[in-house]
Chain A
Amino acid sequence: MYRTINYYYSFRGLAYTTFLNRLRHVPQAGGSCEEARRCAAPTLSSCELPCVDCEIRNSGYAYSFGPSVPNFPAFCAGNTLIRGETKLKKLLVVLTALVLLVPPSIGQAAVVTSNVASVGLTMTASESLTVSATPSNITFTLDGAGTTGTASGPISVTTTWFFTTAPRTIWTVGYFSTPTQALSGRQGQSLVNIPSSEIIATINGGGRQSVPSPCNLTEANAPASGAGGSCPDIATISAATTQGNETDSILLQVSLPSAVAPGQYNGVLNIVAQSN
């Protein structure tokens, strides 16, 4: 009987029929059927129902049962449930809705395993060579005689490498593109040049290159340099590891054979770091 009632709530139309069929098979045990006839659906016209002792109300129909119904207490207990139809129905509706709202994947997650998707990761780390020069320009202060210009400071050259193979060699060289015009300035309409041979370079404070040397070397290793435009090598780095850096310095000095005319003289020192 409980099963019947439960079906009723779960599947209203089907259970209704089932419920009635069950009622028809209840043995008659006397009593009046008037009540049932009066309020029952047409399908109950056979008057198989006993006396009224408890009620079931469903969808506007009212059925009455008597103690002659087999297992009457249990049946009435079921009726009691039915009297609480509103709350129970709401609860069942909510539960049904929740079940319907649960994504099928949750139910299937335990038994269905997806394929293993693989994502390729690629990172290219190319070789690189970085050079920084600080400061990026220097000025010279001429002495009283106007023949010796002292630089505002050395140029610190940091070479940073990132190679795929080691060992490798890096050469860092400073040079003037046009050796005859390391520095140049205008005096009226004429151009006055200071050649690179009058620029003296000291590498690493004289530590590595013990003797300050003029920038009039011929260095085939310096690109686009005419003969006699290179300073002593700033660095020859034997890079034993694939990554590293080295800092060197080059200090320039102007050494003129005779005083130049007052004015502004400027030029550009090229610093090239190479690895082949």
Chain B
Amino acid sequence: MKRILLLLGLLAPALHAQTISPIISEYGRNAKGSFTVTNSSVQPMVVTVSINSFDLDPSNGKSIYRPLDTSTRVSLSEMSARVGPRQQHQFFYRVQCETLPCQVVFFAGMIVGRTPSGVGVRIVLPHVVYSCESQKNCRANIRRASGLAD
């Protein structure tokens, strides 16, 4: 019995693991790409996507999120999707910024646990988009402009 519990304990983290890939994408003026959400669990899950603009906090490098800038237009293939067990789903997007550089983050939220009484867990994973005049070193340039190291 102890062995079974130990085995379940070892397997447990993998049962509800969710993955996003890639984490960061750099583009030139035309930011057109995709990100993939992987459901490693044995149950289907619904993924909902939200979009934010953000700045970088020069003191610690954290992102400071805010609603999407009005000067930024984002088109997304789907705002939500159902991902089957052990399946993955690819979201396609296009980001157009009137002012460059700009940075946008897509948050993919997945409820992995529900309970009628208590607290369920929702995992949120980001896909960060940096858009500059030139794709090369876009993220590094934005970070430098914010007073951060590359």
Contacts and interface: CB of A to CB of B under 8 A. Distances in A.
B115 A127 contact: no
Given A132-B15, A135-B113, 19 more contacts: A128-B23, A131-B125, A132-B40, A133-B112, A134-B13, A137-B114, A138-B119, A220-B64, A221-B65, A223-B124, A247-B13, A264-B117, A266-B116, A268-B119, A269-B119, A272-B124, A275-B126, A276-B56, A276-B105
B124 A270 contact: yes
Interface of A: 126-140, 151-152, 155-156, 158, 160, 163, 169, 171, 182-183, 220-224, 247, 252, 264-276
B107 A272 contact: yes
B107 A137 contact: no
Contacts, number: 162
Interface of B: 12-24, 36, 38, 40, 50, 52, 54, 56-57, 61-65, 105, 107, 109, 111-126, 128
Contacts of A266: 114-120
17 contacts: A129-B125, A130-B20, A132-B13, A134-B15, A136-B16, A137-B121, A138-B115, A156-B13, A220-B62, A223-B105, A266-B116, A266-B120, A268-B121, A270-B124, A272-B125, A276-B61, A276-B126
A213 to B, nearest CB: 16
A174 to B, nearest CB: 9
Contacts of A158: 13, 17
B126 A272 contact: yes
**A contacts with B: majority SS:** strand
B122 A268 contact: yes
Given A128-B21, A171-B62, A276-B24, A133 B16 contact: yes
A247 B126 CA distance: 19
Given A136-B121, A266-B115, A272-B107, A127 B23 contact: yes
Contacts of B122: 268-271
A267 B128 contact: no
Contacts of B57: 220-221
A254 to B, nearest CB: 9
A269 B111 CA distance: 9
B111 A128 contact: no
For the complex of A and B, 9 pairs with smallest distance between CB atoms: A136-B113, A137-B113, A139-B118, A132-B17, A128-B21, A272-B124, A137-B115, A130-B19, A126-B22
Contact of B19 (A128, A182, A272): A128
A96 to B, nearest CB: 62
| Residue among A127, A138, A276 with the highest chain B CB neighbour number at 10 A | A276
Contacts of B56: 276
Given A139-B115, A169-B61, A133 B121 contact: yes
A132 B14 contact: yes
Nearest to A128: B21
